[in-house]
Structure formats: C-alpha cells, structure tokens
Structure 1
Amino acid sequence: MNYLKLNRFSHHLQVSFARLNVICRSLYKLCAPDELKYRKNIDQVKLSDSSILAMLIWQTEIGIESQRRFCKFFVGLSHSRFNRRARMLLPLMRCIRQAWNQEVKIAGEFLIIDSFPVPVCQPIRNYRVKIFRGIADIGYKATKKIYYYGFKVHAIVSDDGYVLWTPYRRNMKGAKKHNDHQLMPIRRTIESDFSLLSYYNAENNWARSLAGFQQRLEIAILAYNMAYCLERFN
C-alpha cells in the first residue's frame, strides 16, 4: 500500500426547503412502517409526518440547537406537540437509514470504525446531573482533556480502498506502532466526517429523554447521509 487515494464528498445539504420537503415525502412513501402511516387520526394532523421530518432535517442544517426556538420561528405547532411528533418518527428514521445502508454500495471500500463523545450536560454538573441515571456515564474527551457525562457513539464510515482497523491517535496507548504514516489519511477522513456530524449537532444533544436523544442523533446522521447521497448520486 504505497498511497491511499480517497474520494471525499462535502456532505453539506445544498437544497431548498421546498426540495427537501419533496424528498422527505418520497422517503415517507417508500420507507414509513404501516403502523405509522395508518395510525389513528392520521388524517386530522395539521402537518404531515413528511413535513415534520423535513423540518427536523432543516433544523440541523441551519444549526438551531434549541427546538423551542426553532418551533417559535419556523413551525406551526407548539413545542411540546412538535416534540411528540418528532419522537414518533424515530422508527421512520431507522427504516430510512437501513434502506440507504442496503442501497449504498460499500463493497471493496474502507470500513472505518471510531467513536465520538456526546455530553448531555456541562462538565461542572457531571456528578450532580440526574438525567440518564444508570444509562450514561463519565468519560474522558482526550482532544479537549476534559471529563464529560454522557454517551459515546460508535460509527462506521465507508470510503474507497481496503478494509482495516482505524489507526490510533498519538495519545492512545500503543499509538507509536499503529500510526503508520500511510494510514494517517484514513484518520483524517473519519475525523473530517465526525466534524461534519458535529455541524449537524450530533455532539450537541441536549435531549432530556432517551427517545429524544436517539431521535436527535438519528436526524443528524440522516441529514449527513442525505447530503452524501445527493452529492454522490445526483
């Protein structure tokens, strides 16, 4: 392996909201489970499920972390109702992700595995916070040299090339023998992808319930993958 040539995509969602709404409507028709599409009183909702999905993706794209603030200016629903509707779409987000996983060809490509921390509170509250008791834990964020309370998300990122383990960072035990200079572009690849996930608020998840946490993480990954697919296949 003399060199690694990687094809990169920007992963920025460069579409209008109207176009995004059309895309989400198509995804809803293709991927939504029957229990969501045919639930009771579905014909009486003010906003369709596909419009809610488009709004959630749009929120991540324009960088508004506070859902309350987003609802105040952009949504015709109360904050509490919008939250309930958003959590109801969690099975839909999973179905879309699984469908795309089947469609995107990754044969003969790198599968890069790494993780990133998702704090759920400020470090000063690590030992006093009550949310996610028994689920979240204290971890260490080596890049900023701070302890955090929250979760660690493990991700697999694909790219053209070979299948290999992720190279170690310099501050990891055993890094010297694993940090081959030929593998460092792969490290930069996944760190670039994680920075883009941060752009979609994957690391700034201030949800107060497990369902809300999962929904916000899923929507960040969905927005990221949608941008990838639109750039790669259009």
Structure 2
Amino acid sequence: SRLTHRRNASLVKVPDYEIIALLVWQSEEGISSQRRFARCWGLCGLSRSRFNRRARALLGITAQIVNDLKSRVDLSDQYMIIDSLPMPLCQPIRNRRAKVFEGTANIGYNSTKKFYYYGFKGHFAVSKDGYVLGYVITKASIHDAKEAEELILSTRPEGHFILGDEGYIGERLHDALKIDGYILWTPYRKNMKGAK
C-alpha cells in the first residue's frame, strides 16, 4: 500500500517496471558500477540520482518479487550454499580516510584476496541452482560465522544440508544448527572433534 500510494506516483515518466528491468539487466550483465552502466546503456533518460531514488523507492516491490520467485522454486532434497562477499566502498589506500557511511561501514579483511577494505560485507544463502534465498548486509568486520545462524534460520531451507567454506568452521555454529535439523559441511570439518 505504501508503494502503490506513494506521492506523485501517477506523474512518473518512466514506469516502475522499466526501473526494475534495468536493475535486473545491470545485474545480469555483471556491471557493479552504475556510472559505467549508465554510460553504456543509459537509464531511460533519468539522471543517476533520480534513478537511485526511484530504485530505493522500489525496494519493497523488489523484495516481494524475490520472495514470490523463491516460493515457486522447488528446493526439496537440495543443499544450500552460504558464503560472504566483500563490498568495498573505496580503494584500500583510502581505508582510513573514508567518511561515506561513517558509523555504519568499517574496515574488514578479505582472507581470500588477502587485503583490508572499508565498506560492508554481504552474507548470502544460495540454492545449488543459483537462486538467492536470503541475504544480510553487515559491517565489513563481522565474521561469517556470526551471521550464518541467523541467515539460515531466517531462510529456513527445506533441505537439511548446507555447504560453507572455512569461514564457517566452529563447533558452536555446527551444534546450534544441528539442534534445528541442519547439517553444515565445511572443508576440514572431518578433522574437528566428533566429526565423521
């Protein structure tokens, strides 16, 4: 209701579905920079700031679309994959001077590429077919295992097997998920006490 009755909704020159289509297209093309996307393909004649405002106003309907798609996907007898993704806001050389999102973003470490970055971290739960089932965005410094339990329990996968990398190794997390009926498999898990 807040979405359909928002102020001046009837006066827009570019309909909502075109904004959503552009966001999907940008994602499909794998272009993370909206500036680059706008330069290559345009934004339906909108300025980038107006496009961003419209996209933010559509977050509610975008979430509804994702939830509807999730409900149509048969995830029974499948496993789920959890992982995190660094979301840097600047080049590493500016980590200590960056002010954007001050108090919300912070400095974290990307162990895969071995560098410190300022920004956020995205924690994702994905089906084996690539459907995003759930996500949480946190400060960059938050450890993967800290968000894993909440992410899994809010997603409530039908399958009972979850795959994760070394960031999810830890008896406490494995035991907590086991109580809820989930088996978390991580590399080197076999070396841990009580694991098969």
TM superposition score normalised by structure 2: 0.62
Residues 126-172 of structure 1, C-alpha deviations (whole Å, 9 max, x = no match) = 111011222222111112111111112111122389633435449x8
Question: Matches of residues 75-224 of structure 1 in structure 2 within 5 Å?
Answer: 75-159=44-128, 163-169=160-166, 177-178=188-189
In 2: Cα distance, 1:69 partner to 1:159 partner: 30
**Bigger helix share:** 1
Highest RCO, 1 vs 2 (Cα 8 Å, sep ≥ 6): 1
1:88 Cα offset (Å): 0.8
Is 1:54 aligned to residue 51 of structure 2?
A: no
Deviation at 1:76, TM superposition (A): 1.3
- 1:161-219 per-residue CA deviation (whole Å, 9 max, x = no partner) reads 9633435449x899873279xxxxxxxxxxxxxxxxxxxxxxxxxxxxxxxxxxxxxxx
Q: Aligned residue pairs: how many?
A: 146
Q: Which residue of 2 aligns with 1:194?
A: none
Asked whether the equivalents of residues 83 and 164 of structure 2 are also in contact (C-alpha less than 8 Å), the reply is: no
DSSP 3-state at the match of 2:3: helix
Contact 1:71 1:77 (C-alpha < 8 Å) held by counterparts:
no
Q: Distance in 1 between matches of 2:38 and 2:188?
A: 51
Q: Secondary structure at the match of 2:163?
A: coil
Q: Residue type matched to 2:17 in 1?
A: S
Given the two structures, how large is their TM-score scaled by the length of structure 1? 0.53
Change (3 A) 1:48 1:135: same
Gaps of 5+ in 1: 1-33, 181-234
Greater shift, 156-165 or 38-47, is seen at 156-165
Distance 1:104 1:121 in 2: 37
Question: If each structure's strand is expressed as a fraction of its own residues, which one has the higher value?
Answer: 2
Shift of 1:97: 1.3
Partner of 2:8: 41
Cα deviation code 1:80-120 (max 9, x no counterpart): 22221111111111111122222212122102222121111
2:86–2:120 contact (8 Å) kept in structure 1 = yes
Describe the shift of the 1:81–1:162 C-alpha distance in structure 2 as closer, same or farther (beyond 3 A). Answer: closer
Identity %: 46
